[in-house]
Structure 1
Amino acid sequence: MRQTRLVLLALALLGVSAGPGPVRADAGPATTPALGVSIDDFNYLDTSGEVTDQAAVHEKRLEEFMQGLRADVAAEPRYRLVAPGEARIRIVGGVQKMSTLIGWVKVALVDTVANRLVFERRYSFRGDSDQAWDRARIFVSRDVLAALAEAQPPAKTDAAAQIALAVFEFELDDTSAAAQASGPTPADATDLANVTKGVRELLAQSGRYHLIDPGRADGDAIKHQALRDCGGCDAAIAQKLGADQSLVGVVRRVSRTEYTVAFQLRDARSGAVVSRGDSGLRMGADYSWTRGAVRLVGDRLLDNGAHK
């Protein structure tokens, strides 16, 4: 279901910025696995109003367009074509015939892990012939390959060069009116668990960090979900776990449709703050917490290159 929503979003949000650039890791001995890419069959729409029915001709041209695009991507050893459910990057799009001589191609690349658009563009091409469609495919392939190169996950660095990081469970600071009456709910715990999972997956896949399991840690601040207010005690706890750094995150619910996300990264030895981020007020229901947290950590921590 999540990937279905992403595909619909990618096709709908034409003209919307694709968001921040790709996550990059620190330099070091590395190997880069082939990026799993799926290419959905593009939709076709004819709004030209022409009397002659050319459906069979256009169906053949679209089939050749898709074959060419897939061949262009598969020719690069950095990428491997996979089923949509296995893809890190999913490519979707459509072709629309506007008039006798004008056509459009719409393309979007969706990062299914980071849950964001990494590329989207609309192309206009002139002519309705085999040659015109092929020229359009060449332009699309060129830009798609460039976007895939940017979206390539960073190479996994040597374990010795990775930062050992303890990512503690995200905490909820509920200041909404409903909180006074009902307090935390089982749904809140599920949503927070999803936030923590999403952020941990993002950091693990960056190649920069080796995640330390904080599950065996103990202490009142952890038991009472109060690491955000313990004066930096998370750093000492992380050091005992063998981590170099600690990350504490909080979701602050203002109302059922307004929330903020914040995190703080500390050096485990000195307790000094290495990086922090605050999303500011966001609109969205509880299910959007994960998306907000992953975007914030990606923007402020990974893209800004905070390290040891």
Structure 2
Amino acid sequence: MRALLATAALLPTGAGALADPPKLAVFDFELVDTSLPGEFYGSKPEEARLMRISEQLRRELAESGRFQVLDIAPVREAARGANLQACGGCDLKLAGQLGADLEITGLVQKVSNLIINLNIYLRDVKTGNMITVASADMRGNTDESWSRTMSYLIRNRLLAPNYGKRE
């Protein structure tokens, strides 16, 4: 599967660039908020940001032409009810129900309004093997910082021609 991702990264971009791109399920990002404000007031602004970066990831990967991004609506509620990072493979089962070849889960760790980490995990649905992990720290808790961090990871990790290739 690593070869599939590496091959997809090397192909031309744009609609129709790949005859049968791999089917990809991109689940909504989850939040681990251990910040003091999060403990006292909840994580309301972050919840909206989680949805925006999830949609941004789906849109940009679909527009790349390298993946066929699947609609997760049939399993969205089940996914929201589970901790996809620690559910013992329920994410793979849900992605399999959609007919996905690959799946992405994501996690945002908020330590404070100044220290936030965005993590993307790409796995092969059939084998359960981790294909790649992309992670970036951001400073500042704004819509712009979240969006720019996601753009960076998409451009420089997930869609970068040489990312994940072994020398």
TM-score band, normalised by shorter chain: 0.7 to 0.9
Query: Do residues 291 (structure 1) and 154 (structure 2) align?
Result: no
Task: Decide whether the 8 Å contact of 1:162 with 1:210 is kept in 2.
Answer: yes
Corresponding position of 2:35? 176
What CA distance in whole angstroms lies between the structure 2 residues aligned with 1:232 and 1:176? 28
> Which residue matches 1:282?
138
Partner of 2:85, secondary structure, is helix
SS at match of 2:65: coil
2:56 equivalent in structure 1:
198
1:158 deviates by 5.4
Shift of 1:305: 5.0
Gaps of 5+ in 1: 1-23, 31-153
Alpha-carbon offset, residue 218 of structure 1:
5.7
CA contact (8 A) 2:16 2:65 kept: yes
Distance 2:99 2:18 in 1: 14
Tell me how far apart the structure 1 counterparts of residues 33 and 20 of structure 2 sit (CA, whole Å). 38
Q: Which residue of 1 aligns with 2:70?
A: 212
Q: Paired residue for 2:21?
A: 162
Where do residues 1-308 of structure 1 align in structure 2 (5 Å cutoff)? 25-27=9-11, 154-157=13-16, 160-185=19-44, 187-217=45-75, 222-224=79-81, 226-279=83-136, 281-287=137-143, 288-303=145-160, 304=162
Per the TM alignment, residue 210 of structure 1 is displaced from its structure 2 partner at its CA by 0.5
Q: Could you tell me which residue of structure 2 aligns to residue 80 of structure 1?
A: none
What displacement does 1:298 show?
Answer: 2.3
Deviation at 1:290, TM superposition (A): 2.0
225 and 173 in structure 1: CA distance in 2 versus 1, 3 angstrom threshold = farther
Q: Secondary structure at the match of 2:59?
A: helix
The runs of at least 4 aligned residues of structure 1 exceeding 2 Å deviation read 24-27, 155-161, 304-307
* Contact persistence 2:138–2:146 (CA under 8 A): no
Judged with a 3 Å threshold, the aligned counterparts in structure 2 of structure 1 residues 157 and 167 are, in CA distance, closer, same or farther, namely same
Task: State the TM-score, normalized to the length of structure 2.
Answer: 0.82
What SS does structure 1 have at the residue aligned with 2:111? strand
The Cα offsets for residues 65-103 of structure 1, whole Å up to 9 and x where unpaired, read as xxxxxxxxxxxxxxxxxxxxxxxxxxxxxxxxxxxxxxx
Report if the CA contact (8 A) 2:17-2:66 is conserved: no
Preserved contact between residue 101 and residue 125 of structure 2 (Cα < 8 Å)? yes
SS of the aligned residue for 1:274 comes to: strand
Q: How many residues align?
A: 156
Structure 2, unmatched stretches of 5+, are 1-7
| Structure possessing the higher relative contact order (Cα contacts under 8 Å, 6 or more residues apart) | 2
**Alpha-carbon separation, structure 2, partners of 1:278 and 1:184:** 21
Indicate conservation of the 8 Å contact 1:265/1:276, yes or no.
yes
Taking the aligned partners of 1:172 and 1:253, their CA distance within structure 2 comes to 7
Q: Distance in 2 between matches of 1:181 and 1:165?
A: 37
Instruction: Give the direction of change, closer, same or farther, for the CA distance of 1:274–1:243 in structure 2 (3 Å limit).
Output: same
The Cα of 1:294 is off from its aligned counterpart by 2.3
